[in-house]
Amino acid sequence: MALKHLTKTGQLSRFILRLDRVKVSLWLIGITFFTLIVPAAFEGLYENQQERDAMAETMANPAMTAMVGPGNLENYTTGAMTTHQMLLMTALVAGLMSILLVSRHTRGDEEDGRIELIRSLPAGRLSYLNAALVVITGTSVVLALINGFGLYALGIETMDLAGSLLYGAGLGGTALVFAGVAAVFAQLSESSRGTIGLSIGVLLFSYLFRAVTDISNESLSWLSPLGWVTKTEAYTNNNWGPIFLMVVAAAILFILANYLQSIRDLESGFLPSKPGRSTASSFLQGPLGLAWRLQRTGAFFWAIGMFVLGASYGSVMGDMESFFEGNEMLQQMLQPVEGLTLTEQFIPMLLIVMSIMATVPPVIAMNKLRGEEKKERLDHLLGRAVSRTQLMGGYLLLAVLNAFIMISLTAIGLWSAADAVMEEGLSFSMIYGAALAYLPATLVMVGLAVFLAGVLPKLTPFVWAYVLYSFFVVYLGNLMQFPEWTAKISPFGHVAQVPVEEAAFLPLFLLCVVAAALMALGLIGFRKRDISA
């Protein structure tokens, strides 16, 4: 690579860092906060090794292995518990951070014409790409260091410096790998939407592939980058080999991205794009049709991903009953409900994770409107015979349908796989009804996205913080014994855990009322406020 192609990389790196200093800081603070709060909570909740061993018994089943990965359950110290229950999930967030930041400053800036402007100045052909990679590499290193030294600073006996630094390196290494994935897809795809969609697709596939192989053939999970994370075994065996693999994989992806950038034309991609129709259909000529056209590819891949997610969890249900039968301690802790198998009592835990995951695509669909506004594309639509209510209403309708379809596909995937591997199977009506009980909570999240887009557009990203908060307090609340009121702040905390609990009409009705109110306020606000870049 000629050095002339890297001219001004340093200055552009400082420019990108200045643009994203707030976003990068928020990502680092958020990930670090949830990393440090968990082991401190574990230390207070489990005061002796006997209590930690009891928790290890609850985690030693195929469903939990698929969800959080394998762990050292024979020596379940606070450090081993933190690595087992938190490292993989936090690494997913770190990977998402890299995808969004890299996509924004590669294909996103190219799509908006900024890179063309920069190339007109004395800057190298590959300078802006490498500037983005320098920033995300620095962010990954900082993420690794502050989490590593932060965990060690907690002063917990079983969390030594070597294990803490390895834990942090697992997060930083994951961020680097998926930065490379996003950088490559930024060259292959012709749009930022495609770059983000394909990159997140790889992230989800890596998680699902690891989940299946950790249950069926653990050696195959070495083929997944997220499988490398769990194999670091921080605080127990302290295996640094996976970190080396992450760095090598990231370096290869960075080099490949640079090569692809050097041989392609600006604003072009390598993935073929078929020509559109010569005339638009009547459906496409309206705001609803246009919104669907912009989102259909992403919605399709999310639909496949949600079905596979449900099926991956359902595929391990056949092994759980035999595990429970030989585990008297776990049977006593579950306090079996009359008429329900022990496997059925684990269903609410699975549905919580899947319902929150199913909330992501409808919120993305709704936030697409704000993205179009920031790119100054709404003026072209509103300058025609299109009302603001029609415009936002089209995105809202798609988001609501998206929520229903994603939750439905997740439930169908869970039921179909479980029915195939279990002798007696599970009731479809029970699984589907339990999943749909979370739909009002998802609609509250969509309503919040509508409200923010219509009334407080600059705070639109706040909805993601709320989704992340919901995941931690609802999913981890039982494990960490959070106060009950922390879960009630989230709409998901008001949903009955069917089939263990009976579904109550009033909480679901009130959630629907809150969702409708937020949507109405958002539509009114969008109609009255100024459209701004």
What three-state secondary structure class fits 465? helix
In a domain, 275, yes or no: no
Residue that is last in its domain, among 241, 269, 297: 269
Same domain assignment for residues 402 and 433:
yes
Query: How far is CA 139 from each of CA 150, 155, 461, rounded to the nearest angstrom?
Result: 16, 25, 20
Same domain assignment for residues 337 and 250:
no
Highest mean pLDDT among 106-115, 208-217, 394-403: 394-403
Q: What is the pLDDT of residues 119-135, one digit of tens each?
A: 888 887 889 899 999 99
Same domain assignment for residues 300 and 188:
no
What's the confidence (pLDDT) of residue 333? 47
Same domain assignment for residues 316 and 221:
no
Q: What is the pLDDT of residues 365-380, one digit of tens each?
A: 999 998 888 878 887 7
In a domain, 24, yes or no: yes
What three-state secondary structure class fits 135? helix
pLDDT grade, residue 405 (50/70/90)? Answer: very high
Q: Find where tokens 């913080």 sit.
A: 465
Is a pLDDT exceeding 90 seen at residue 383? no
In a domain, 278, yes or no: no
What's the confidence (pLDDT) of residue 480? 63
Domain range enclosing 513: 283-533
Same domain assignment for residues 257 and 378:
no
In a domain, 231, yes or no: yes
Which of 148-152, 253-257, 276-280 has the lowest average pLDDT? Answer: 276-280
Q: Among 349, 90, 52, which residue's Cα sits nearest to residue 234?
A: 90
Same domain assignment for residues 132 and 259:
yes
In a domain, 300, yes or no: yes
Query: How many folded domains does the chain comprise?
Result: 2
Is a pLDDT exceeding 90 seen at residue 336? no
What's the confidence (pLDDT) of residue 34? 83
In a domain, 210, yes or no: yes
Tell me the average pLDDT across 215-225: 88
Q: Among 237, 269, 277, which residue's Cα sits nearest to residue 106?
A: 269
Which of 24-38, 330-344, 349-363, 496-510 has the lowest average pLDDT? Answer: 330-344
Q: What is the pLDDT of residues 65-76, one digit of tens each?
A: 877 888 888 888
Tell me the average pLDDT across 211-225: 88
d(CA 301, CA 158): 42
Q: What is the pLDDT of residues 492-526, one digit of tens each?
A: 988 887 777 777 889 899 999 999 999 999 999 99
User: What is the residue-averaged pLDDT of the chain?
Assistant: 85
Report whether 136 contacts 98 (CB < 8 A): yes
In a domain, 274, yes or no: no
What three-state secondary structure class fits 61? coil
Structure tokens given for 501: 């609990």
pTM for the whole thing? 0.77
Is a pLDDT exceeding 50 seen at residue 285? yes
What's the confidence (pLDDT) of residue 452? 94
What's the confidence (pLDDT) of residue 371? 84
Q: What is the pLDDT of residues 131-181, one digit of tens each?
A: 999 999 999 999 999 999 999 999 998 899 999 999 999 999 999 999 999
Same domain assignment for residues 229 and 297:
no
What's the confidence (pLDDT) of residue 294? 82
Q: What share of the chain has pLDDT > 70, as a percent? A: 91
Tell me the average pLDDT across 380-404: 89
